[in-house]
Amino acid sequence: MKRKIILSIALTVILVSVVLVSAWATTYGASIYKGWNLVYGFQSSEQIDTIDKSNIRAIYAFIPTTQQYLRAWPNPDEKAWQNLDKVIDDHELLQTAYWVYSDITIEGSLNGLSHFTEYWVYDAPVHYTERPIYKGWNFIGVTKDMISGSKDTNLKDIKGNCDIEKSYFWIAEMQKWEDAPIEYAQLEERSLGSGWVIKVSDNCKLGTSSGGNTLSVPNLPGDQKACSDSDGGMNYNTKGTASKEGLGDITDFCVNNIKLSETLCNNDGNPAYAQYDCPNGCDNGACNSEGQNNQAILGRKCTTNSDCPNQYTDWSCKNGTTAQRYISYYSCEQEKSTCQSSPGGVEYENCANGCLNSVCN
Three state DSSP letters for 182-201: CCCCEECHHHCCCEEEEEEC
Residue 214 lies in a domain: no
How many domains does the structure of the chain reveal? 3
Is pLDDT at 333 greater than 70 in this prediction? Answer: yes
Q: Does one domain contain both 248 and 335?
A: no
Q: 175 is in which domain, residue-wise? A: 11-205
Highest-confidence range of 79-93, 103-117, 190-204, 294-308, by mean pLDDT?
A: 190-204
Residues in the chain: 361
Look at residues 173, 205, 237 and tell me which one is the last residue of a structural domain: 205
Does residue 6 sit within a domain?
Answer: no
101 and 155 housed in the same domain? yes
Same domain, 186 and 261: no
Q: 83 and 68, same structural domain? A: yes
Final residue belonging to a domain, choices 205, 236, 267: 205
Does residue 199 share a domain with residue 50? yes
pLDDT digits (tens, 9 = 90+) for 138-151: 999 998 888 866 67
Average pLDDT of the chain? 77
In a domain, 336, yes or no: yes
The 10s digit of each residue's pLDDT in 234-282 is 778 888 888 877 667 788 888 777 778 788 776 667 777 777 777 777 8
Tens digit of each residue's pLDDT (9 = 90 or more) over 316-325: 777 778 887 7
- The conformation of residue 275, written as its DSSP 8-state character, comes to E
Please identify, among 246, 276, 296, the residue that sits at the C-terminal boundary of a domain. 296
Residues 105 and 230 in one domain: no
Three-class SS state of 268: coil
> Is 215 within a domain?
no
Instruction: Note whether residue 124 is domain-resident.
Output: yes
Whether residue 16 is contained in a domain is answered as yes
| The model scores a pTM over 0.95 | no
Claim to verify: residue 39 and residue 109 sit in the same structural domain: yes
Pick from 123, 125, 133: nearest CA to 65: 133
